[in-house]
Structure 1
Amino acid sequence: MPLLPTPAFSSPYYLFNGHLQTILPSMARRAPVISYTRERLTTPDHDFLDLDWSKVGSDTLVVLSHGLEGDSHRPYIKGMVRALNSAGWDALAWNFRSCSGEPNHLLRSYHMGAIEDLDLVVRHALATKPYARIFLVGFSMGGNLTLNYLAQGNGQLPEQVQRAAVFSVPCHLKGSCLQLAKPQNRVYMKRFLKSLHLKLSEKAQRFELDLTQYDRIKTFEQFDERYTAPLHGFKSADDYYESCSSVQRLHQIEIPTLMVNALNDPFLSPECFPVEQARQNPHFYLEMPATGGHVGFAENFAKGHYYSERRAVEFLSQAF
Structure 2
Amino acid sequence: MTTLPIRDYRRPFLLCHPHLETIYPSLLRRVPPPPYRRERIDTPDDDFLDLDWLQTGHEKLVIISHGLEGDSSRAYVTGMARACNSSGWDVLAWNFRGCGGEINRRPRLTHNGATGDLDTVIRHAIASGHYRQVALVGFSMGGNLSLVYLGREAQMVPQEVVGTITFSVPCDLAGASQRLAAPGNAIYMRRFLRLMGHKVHLQARRYPQEFPTDGYENLRTFADFDNRYTAPLHGFRNAEDYWAQCSSHSYLDRVRIPTWIINARNDPFLSPACFPASDNPNVTLLVPRHGGHCGFSSFDHEGAYWSEVTTVRLLDHLGTS
Q: TM-score range by the shorter chain?
A: over 0.9
SS in 2 for 1:151: helix
Residue 4 of structure 1 and its aligned partner are, at CA, apart by 7.7
Partner of 1:260: 262
Partner of 1:45: 45
Deviations, residues 188-228 of structure 1 (Å, cap 9, x unaligned): 00000001111111111111221111111100111101111
The alignment covers a number of residue pairs equal to 317
Query: In the aligned structure 1, how far is the partner of 2:214 from the partner of 2:302?
Result: 46
Partner of 2:226: 224
Query: In the aligned structure 2, how far is the partner of 1:152 from the partner of 1:187?
Result: 33
Partner of 1:204: 204
Partner of 1:126: 126
Q: Runs of 4 or more off by more than 4 Å in structure 1?
A: 1-7
Query: In the aligned structure 2, how far is the partner of 1:153 from the partner of 1:172?
Result: 18
Partner of 1:67: 67
C-alpha contact (below 8 Å) 1:6/1:289 kept by paired residues:
no
Query: In the aligned structure 2, how far is the partner of 1:6 from the partner of 1:59?
Result: 25
Query: In the aligned structure 1, how far is the partner of 2:238 from the partner of 2:6?
Result: 38
Q: What amino acid is the match of 2:238? A: S
Residue 6 of structure 1 and its aligned partner are, at CA, apart by 8.3
Unaligned residue ranges in structure 1 (runs of 5+): none
- Confirm or deny that 1:316 pairs with 2:318: no
Higher relative contact order (CA 8 A, sep 6+): 1
Query: In the aligned structure 2, how far is the partner of 1:167 from the partner of 1:301?
Result: 21
- Confirm or deny that 1:272 pairs with 2:255: no
CA RMSD after TM alignment: 1.5
Residue 5 of structure 1 and its aligned partner are, at CA, apart by 8.3
Deviations, residues 301-320 of structure 1 (Å, cap 9, x unaligned): 77523111011111121121
C-alpha contact (below 8 Å) 2:83/2:304 kept by paired residues:
no
Residue 129 of structure 1 and its aligned partner are, at CA, apart by 2.2
Unaligned residue ranges in structure 2 (runs of 5+): none
Query: In the aligned structure 1, how far is the partner of 2:180 from the partner of 2:13?
Result: 25
C-alpha contact (below 8 Å) 2:61/2:91 kept by paired residues:
yes
Partner of 1:159: 159
C-alpha contact (below 8 Å) 1:31/1:79 kept by paired residues:
yes
Q: What amino acid is the match of 1:76? A: Y
Could you say if the C-alpha distance between residues 236 and 5 of structure 1 is closer, same or farther in structure 2, counting changes exceeding 3 Å? farther
Residue 300 of structure 1 and its aligned partner are, at CA, apart by 1.9
SS in 1 for 2:191: helix
Partner of 1:250: 252
Identical-residue share of aligned pairs (%): 50
Query: In the aligned structure 2, how far is the partner of 1:254 from the partner of 1:124?
Result: 21
Q: TM-score, normalised by structure 2?
A: 0.96
Query: In the aligned structure 2, how far is the partner of 1:37 from the partner of 1:93?
Result: 10
SS in 2 for 1:64: strand
